[in-house]
Chains A and B, each alone.
Chain A
């Protein structure tokens, strides 16, 4: 066994030396034109990889992306080490896999192509993250309209808008919805006695991601004793992440906003819109409202 391992190691190190010498010879033979062409080639591949990773990462396909990466590396290594049988199987599955991926990611591919085709070149960065102010403004309008309507009818509501801190655990505690964010959808969810009216709605990337979610309650003792569980849950949520939480009281119809460990009450439709715009639009350009990474920081 030791002999086989050392033989394998020797073969691999020979191959690596072989590749190294080959590349050295190739680079030494290159003219200026060839060097520029290869640099452009590398930069283009880097750009495509970066955009693809960001694109899939924003769509919660991180694990799928990891799997694809491992698959591609295996394919590349099989060709490098001339593992013909293994490589043939991988290539056969890859050809079918490409079609499967196109079917799975059809909505995302459509979005991506529309983004490339419909905007100037400088906005191609939007392909990797949906940092479009229009989407955020639309979302804010929908939330404000829904909150105002529910305040009028004294319908209790708890709406969490995810930002840079991922709320995977909170989302998983509820029912996966993945619906377009509109005032009608929000009102339907919080309609009294509807199946999902209990719990919070989590909005991710300006879409209703999940409903009926459980939020952590605040442990603070110094808050107004008149505040019910809904407000405590909103405050508790704001203490553990950077999300914005909109609360509509079932008793009084008051609209409140919990953000950064603070609960502010008595919002009107206009002031709510202003407040949400202040928080969400200022960070839309940096992508905070479209989650990118998990922060472990807790103040």
Chain B
């Protein structure tokens, strides 16, 4: 019975760590997809602003 309780505790800890690892991975996936998709066009605006500045300098 004692061994069963220890096994149960180990399984619980394993599941907790697995859940945390999945959470971390999902945060990374979320950040990466947000950066790639750029829903609000922040990166596009920034690069457009950089291009505009470069064009102004050129002129």
Residues of A whose CB lies within 8 Å of any CB of B are: 19, 22-23, 25-26, 29, 38, 41-43, 45-47, 49-50, 53-54, 76, 79-80, 163-164, 242, 260, 282-283, 286-288, 292-293, 295, 297, 299
Q: Beyond A23-B35, A43-B26: 16 further Cβ-contacts under 8 Å?
A: A22-B38, A29-B40, A42-B23, A42-B30, A45-B26, A46-B25, A53-B18, A80-B32, A164-B7, A164-B10, A282-B4, A283-B7, A286-B8, A288-B11, A293-B10, A293-B11
Main secondary structure of the interface of B (DSSP, over half): helix
Of chain B, the residue at the smallest CB distance from A165 is B7
List the A residue with the shortest CB-CB distance to B34: A26
A45/B29 in contact, CB under 8 A: yes
Other-chain contact of B36, A50, A79, A292 (Cβ < 8 Å): A79
CB of A283 within 8 A of CB of B4, answer: yes
**Contact (Cβ within 8 A) A286 B40:** no
- Complexed CA–CA distance, A54 and B16 (Å): 12
Q: Return A237 CB to nearest CB of chain B, in Å.
A: 15
Selected A-B contacts with CB under 8 Å, 11 pairs: A42-B30, A43-B26, A45-B30, A46-B23, A46-B25, A47-B22, A76-B29, A79-B36, A283-B7, A293-B14, A299-B3
Contacts of A293 in B (CB 8 A): 10-11, 14
Taking a contact as CB atoms under 8 Å apart, the answer to whether B36 and A286 are in contact is no
Which A residues are in CB contact (< 8 Å) with B32?
A: 76, 79-80
B22 touches A53 (CB 8 A): yes
Q: How far is the CA of A295 from the CA of B26 in the complex (A)?
A: 28
Residue contact A295 to B31, C-beta cutoff 8 Å: no
| Minimum-distance CB pairs A-B, first 10 | A45-B26, A49-B22, A46-B26, A50-B22, A46-B23, A164-B7, A46-B22, A42-B30, A42-B26, A286-B8
Contact B36–A41 (Cβ < 8 Å) = no
A interface SS class: helix
| Chain A residues closer than 8 Å to B25, beta-carbon distance | 46, 49
Interface footprint category on B: 20 to 34
In the complex, A132→B32 CA distance in Å? Answer: 38
Question: With contacts defined as CB atoms under 8 Å apart, how many contacts are there between chain A and chain B in the complex?
Answer: 78
Scan residues 4-20 of chain B and give those whose CB is less than 8 A from a CB of chain A: 4, 6-8, 10-11, 14, 18-19
B31 contacts which of A23, A25, A283 (Cβ < 8 Å)? A23
Q: In the docked arrangement, what's the CA distance between A87 and B22, Å?
A: 24
Closest chain-B Cβ to A16's Cβ sits at a distance in Å of 11
Choice from B8, B26, B42 contacting A22 with Cβ under 8 Å: B42
Residue of A nearest to B28 (CB): A76
A164 touches B22 (CB 8 A): no
Instruction: Give complex CA distance A127, B31 in Å.
Output: 28
Residue from B6, B26, B36 in contact with A80 in the complex, judged by beta carbons closer than 8 Å: B36
Chain A hits for B23, CB < 8 A: 42, 46
Of chain B, the residue at the smallest CB distance from A163 is B7
Name the CB-closest residue of B to A38.
B30
Chain A residues in 8 Å Cβ range of B7: 163-164, 242, 283, 288, 295
Q: How far is the CA of A109 from the CA of B18 in the complex (A)?
A: 22
A128, closest chain B residue (CB): B15
* Binary contact track B41-52/A, C-beta < 8 Å → 1, others 0: 011000000000
* Cβ–Cβ < 8 Å partners of A76 in chain B: 29, 32
How far is A288 from B10 in the complex, measured between Cα atoms in Å?
Answer: 11
Minimum distance in angstroms from A22 CB to a CB of chain B: 6
CB distance from A140 to the nearest CB of B (A): 17
